[in-house]
Amino acid sequence: MDLAALRRGRRGAVARAISAIEDDPAAARSIIKEIFPETGRSCVVGITGPAGAGKSTLIDRLAQDLAARGMSPAVLAVDPTSHVTGGAILGDRVRMSGSTDSGAYIRSIASRGATGAVSASLRNSIRVLEYAGFDPVIVESVGAGQTEVGISLMADITVVVFSPNTGDSIQAIKAGLTEIGDIYVVNKGDLAGAGRLLDAVRDFVARSGGARVVRTSARRGTGTGELAGLIESMSAERRGRRSTPESLSAELGDIVLTGLRERVAVMAERDATFRDCVRLMQEGRLDPYSAGRRAARAVARR
Amino acid sequence: MDLAALRRGRRGAVARAISAIEDDPAAARSIIKEIFPETGRSCVVGITGPAGAGKSTLIDRLAQDLAARGMSPAVLAVDPTSHVTGGAILGDRVRMSGSTDSGAYIRSIASRGATGAVSASLRNSIRVLEYAGFDPVIVESVGAGQTEVGISLMADITVVVFSPNTGDSIQAIKAGLTEIGDIYVVNKGDLAGAGRLLDAVRDFVARSGGARVVRTSARRGTGTGELAGLIESMSAERRGRRSTPESLSAELGDIVLTGLRERVAVMAERDATFRDCVRLMQEGRLDPYSAGRRAARAVARR
């Protein structure tokens, strides 16, 4: 890995490093060990919200506005996956490589894989982009439960995007509003229903305290400048702060569990106690919980 | 827990037992220890496919046809969740409690929770229904990656349902066809496009070998009798077979990992080495992988 080229933000080097992070655990480990001391200082902006809220167009505009303010944004899109193809939707992946109109580096990474693998590749891809000089690093994800929560833990600033046409009623959107946002965006603000949605979001924010609300129309280019300004000032307030202890502790726990998961998988194949337990379960002579206690002791002995 | 009432298939007792399985780990453990030797003999039919394929109506009809053949079907619906509300869609959950027109017991269980928790509550809810005398136990799920794979591992017979109007092109459906099915159903067989879809599915099956293909219209009540007949004969072939070693081994691994996950969570809170690692990471003095090795040794010492 050419770390000097990566340090200078060369796109080829960045792309190769992120691919290695995603596909090659040994390479990932050696890259991260090298670059880790120089990371943790860029502002990470998580942008989440339902499919159809117009996040991608919004991010294109936002990246232009951030660049116009002298910042160097990069975008990591956590790929939406299709339940049919079981993988990235091709059109989206094509769109999501190269750069936005603003010249920001943009890249999609897989949102599916073994437990823990997605957050590991996301965390480490953010580090690659930080090392390459990008700031802020924008992480786009479809709001989908555990991923969403994971990203808000990694992000310094969390932006939640809604629009009046995602097929959910105002009632449903209100019911689903979570307190993870530092900024709530009502996008497609020129569409019918945007006013009512904005009122609902403002009500929610007034009750839960403190977050900012912005109305945008990415298509018309309104409001994204205000959003960029907010991100710039929040980013300045938080500059120099490294990743939080909560986030690093979650990462460390993930790394330890990934190792344990591999150990359990190997034991399921080879360990005599483990295989005995399975046989007794199959014969109906040992219930799963008692078997679990016995197998856990075998894991501990290793 | 009134095991005698559960054994007799009393609906109230079944409902209470499944609720305990879902909500109360200690109660779940004690119920499963009691009933485990009497479980593992009913046929588990996994029915999966994209949202909109008409699975619920199909299952209603299928349950009637199975009951007409003298079987005692029950249905567990792994609840679709909304990315907005973060929970079960209310309308669906209401529909999914009580019984179908056939009198089959039907119940939805949450599809979201801590890693491993969903498959544990699914496996154990199946056991409760077996103990209560239901056979087959039908598990309905939206085809969605990891869940789908998990269910095909638990199922004796896997049924994959498509329909011509789920919004995916024939091309997309073909690309997404997996070999998990023992039976492929083209539902809404009276709609335009059903013939082409049927041809595509038959092509796929002919290449991958062995599975059966059925065309149904649950709305018109055609084809579900044939499907019920297939399930009855496949079920008879496999009767008496307990859960496979693969499935029990996966369950045992899940149980062991759940315990380890809890241990790691406690250590992240309290263990001195773990907390030291986090501090050094935050100071940029220790990279995550080296910290992981150190923390893993601390876990092993416990």
B149 Cβ under 8 Å from any chain A Cβ: no
Q: Would you state the pLDDT for residue A69?
A: 94
Q: Would you state the pLDDT for residue B150?
A: 66
The predicted complex's ipTM stands at: 0.81
Regarding whether B93 and B42 lie in a shared domain, the answer is yes
Q: Would you state the pLDDT for residue A102?
A: 61
Regarding whether A180 and A136 lie in a shared domain, the answer is yes
> Could you tell me the strand order of the sheet in which B105-109 lies?
B97-99, B105-109, B74-78, B137-142, B44-49, B157-162, B183-186, B212-215
Q: Is residue B83 part of a domain?
A: yes
- Judge: B36–A284 Cβ closer than 8 Å, yes or no: yes
Q: What percent of chain A has pLDDT over 90?
A: 50
CA distances from A166 to A161, A182, A214 (A): 11, 21, 18
Preceding amide of B288 cis, omega within 30:
no
Regarding whether A74 and A112 lie in a shared domain, the answer is yes
Regarding whether B108 and B54 lie in a shared domain, the answer is yes
B259 Cβ under 8 Å from any chain A Cβ: yes
Q: Is residue A292 part of a domain?
A: yes
How many domains in chain A? 2
Q: What is the pLDDT of residues A245-266, one digit of tens each?
A: 888 999 999 999 999 999 999 9
Q: Is residue B245 part of a domain?
A: no
Q: Is residue A130 part of a domain?
A: yes
Domain boundary among A197, A218, A239: A239
Q: Would you state the pLDDT for residue B298?
A: 87
> Does the model's pTM come out above 0.90?
no
A33 Cβ under 8 Å from any chain B Cβ: yes
Domain boundary among A211, A239, A267: A239
- Judge: B243–A29 Cβ closer than 8 Å, yes or no: no
Q: Which of residues 90-119 of B touch A (CB under 8 A)?
A: 112, 115
Average pLDDT over residues A198-218: 89
Regarding whether B293 and B218 lie in a shared domain, the answer is no
Please tell me the distance from the alpha carbon of residue B56 to that of residue B49, in angstroms, as a whole number: 11
Query: A181-195, A288-302, B161-175 — which is least confidently predicted?
Result: B161-175
Q: Is residue B244 part of a domain?
A: no
Regarding whether B24 and B119 lie in a shared domain, the answer is yes
Residue A51 reports pLDDT greater than 90:
no
CA-based nearest residue in chain A for residue B173: A84
Regarding whether B102 and B23 lie in a shared domain, the answer is yes
Q: Is residue B288 part of a domain?
A: yes
Say which of A33, A38, A172 has its CB closest to residue B289. Answer: A33
Q: Is residue A25 part of a domain?
A: yes
CA–CA min distance B196, chain A (Å): 18
SS3 (DSSP) at A161: strand
pLDDT truncated to tens, each residue of chain B (302 aa)? Answer: 789 999 999 989 999 999 999 888 899 999 999 999 999 889 999 998 877 788 888 998 999 999 999 999 999 988 654 332 333 333 333 334 444 556 678 888 776 666 677 788 899 999 999 999 999 999 988 764 445 556 777 889 999 998 887 666 676 666 666 778 899 999 999 998 899 999 989 988 888 777 999 999 988 989 999 999 999 999 988 766 567 888 899 999 999 999 999 999 999 999 999 999 999 999 999 999 999 999 998 887 76
- Judge: A82–B251 Cβ closer than 8 Å, yes or no: no
Domain boundary among B193, B219, B239: B239
Q: Is residue B228 part of a domain?
A: yes
In CATH, what number is assigned to the domain containing residue A7? 3.40.50.300
Please tell me the distance from the alpha carbon of residue A280 to that of residue A285, in angstroms, as a whole number: 5
Q: Would you state the pLDDT for residue B91?
A: 36
CA–CA min distance A224, chain B (Å): 24
Regarding whether B181 and B64 lie in a shared domain, the answer is yes
Residue B263 backbone dihedrals phi, psi, to 5 degrees: -65, -45
Regarding whether A217 and A155 lie in a shared domain, the answer is yes
Regarding whether A68 and A176 lie in a shared domain, the answer is yes
* Domain that includes residue A279, residue range: 250-301
- Judge: A284–B40 Cβ closer than 8 Å, yes or no: yes
Regarding whether A259 and A208 lie in a shared domain, the answer is no
Q: What is the pLDDT of residues A70-112, one digit of tens each?
A: 999 999 988 654 332 333 333 333 334 445 556 678 888 776 6
Regarding whether A41 and A131 lie in a shared domain, the answer is yes
